[in-house]
């Protein structure tokens, strides 16, 4: 039932549907973050990986933490998983990466790509929440079990949670598989995780032709 309400509400909202009324907080958050030393991840990182994309987008995409390529370039999802993410966005939602806002639960690379520790997630959470406030997305796409568990502080795995609506700080959030998992398991289908009406809404405002009416 709530799925129908949510998909009804967010139908047609992607991207830039809020008429440019975003809060330009991003520079302030970056400067507050500074040369962050708030957790142990600072000692091995090369770059803080803040976030990229359109800060006015209605869609925020959230991963777990930077890998080696991201740490080197200072941008999220620029390695192989990033290329897969671009495909997911394009093929499932009809969106280019520049049309969404992409960030991670932690902004510094965990050594050897281990999962971020709870205290690292907590040290970074205020910045994530400030970014959320600044961007004010209408929907969050949560990539993979690590990000999902970190955000929702739940032991539930992504295989059960995928495609089921949650709410994070009052924002509808949809967990789905991480693109790195999809690289290893190409048979998995993430299209089924994203309600058809969300997909149609995305495509319509992406400049494509108006889609046929949503299926019941
Ligand atoms: N995986 C993530 O979760 N985030 C990145 O930025 C890159 C890979």
pLDDT, tens digit, for every residue of 127-144? Answer: 999 999 999 999 999 999
Ligand 1 close to Cβ of residue 52 (< 6 A):
no
Res 83: pLDDT: 97
Atom of ligand 1 nearest to the CA of 143: 3
Q: What is the average pLDDT across 25-50?
A: 94
Q: Residue 170 above 90 pLDDT? A: yes
User: Over the stretch 47-67, which tens digit does the pLDDT of each residue have?
Assistant: 999 999 999 899 999 999 999
Q: What is the average pLDDT across 111-125?
A: 97
Ligand 1 close to Cβ of residue 179 (< 6 A):
no
Find the 102 Cα to ligand 1 centroid distance in Å.
Answer: 10
Percent of the chain with pLDDT over 90: 75
Percent of the chain with pLDDT over 70: 82
Atom of ligand 1 nearest to the CA of 178: 3
Atom of ligand 1 nearest to the CA of 75: 6
Res 149: pLDDT: 98
CA nearest neighbour of 6 among 162, 139, 143: 139
Ligand 1 close to Cβ of residue 127 (< 6 A):
no
Q: What is the average pLDDT across 88-111?
A: 96
Q: Which residue has the higher pLDDT, 208 or 103?
A: 103
């Amino acid at each position: 039932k709530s799925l129908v309400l949510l998909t009804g509400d967010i139908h047609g909202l992607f991207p830039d549907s809020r008429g440019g009324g975003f809060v330009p907080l991003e520079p302030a958050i970056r400067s507050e973050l500074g040369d962050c030393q708030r957790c142990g991840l600072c000692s091995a990182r090369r770059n803080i990986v803040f976030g990229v994309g359109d800060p006015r987008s209605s869609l925020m995409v959230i991963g777990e933490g930077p890998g080696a390529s991201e740490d080197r370039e200072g941008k999220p999802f620029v390695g192989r998983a990033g290329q897969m993410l671009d495909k997911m966005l394009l093929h499932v939602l009809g969106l280019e990466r520049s049309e969404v806002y992409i960030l991670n639960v932690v902004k510094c690379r965990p050594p050897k790509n281990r999962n971020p520790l709870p205290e690292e997630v907590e040290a970074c959470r205020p910045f994530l929440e400030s970014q959320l406030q600044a961007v004010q997305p209408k929907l969050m796409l949560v990539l993979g079990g690590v990000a999902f568990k970190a955000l929702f502080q739940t032991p539930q795995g992504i295989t059960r949670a995928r495609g089921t609506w949650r709410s994070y700080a009052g924002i509808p959030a949809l967990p789905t598989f991480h693109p790195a998992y999809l690289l290893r398991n190409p048979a998995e289908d993430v299209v089924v995780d994203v309600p058809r009406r969300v997909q149609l809404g995305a495509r319509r405002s992406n400049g494509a032709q108006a889609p046929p009416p949503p299926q019941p």
